[in-house]
Amino acid sequence: MKEMEKAAAGFLYDANFDAEVVGQRNAAKDILFEFNHTPPRQAEKRKELLQSLLGQVGNGVIIEAPFHCDYGFNIEIGANSFLNVNCVILDGAKVAIGSNVFIAPAVGIHTAGHPLDSERRDQGLEYAFPVTIEDSVWIGAGAQIMPGVTIGRGSVIGAGAIVNRDIPPFSVAVGNPARILRTITEKDREKYRTA
């Protein structure tokens, strides 16, 4: 079994010393370097670079530079989603981002982690558990999404939150570790005026 197949199956895998894995990361870094240094006015080129890097990119997706990820091919982003500057996605496992998702600056989405015992860490082993962000989620600035988490549809994650467990749909979650503050209700529609 190849190392990325181990990662996809939820097993420890060699993320640091396996030549194929390192090569895949380096290939992604080359594309990211070009993307992060392509002027915003060259929108078509930026779009082509993202399509060559990511597993799936929906229509209307905007990713602001700088953007960083490990591999790219494990990332799927639905239509009309927006990732602001300094987004980091460690995609050793699949990262599924739905449609109409807003991700604020300096957000980290992490599928990867390391064993607690130093012997296996020293061998370059790590694990990766998938992250799912469902449709119409808003993630505040500086939030960190940890391995294996699902954030339910329509939820809001407060700035700086550390999300280490699943968040149900239509919830507001804040803090470290993130806790559910309340459910989003119809009253929230009345809070802001429209023209």
Catalytic positions, written as ranges: 114
Q: What angle do CA 18, 19, 24 make, to 5 degrees?
A: 100
Please classify residue 90 by burial: count the beta carbons closer than 10 Å to its beta carbon, then call 0-12 exposed, 13-18 middle and 19+ buried: buried
CA nearest to 63, candidates 32, 26, 90, 91: 32
Q: Give residues with Cβ within 8 angstroms of 193, minimum separation 6.
A: none
Amino acid at 111: T
Distance CA 65, CA 87 (A): 8
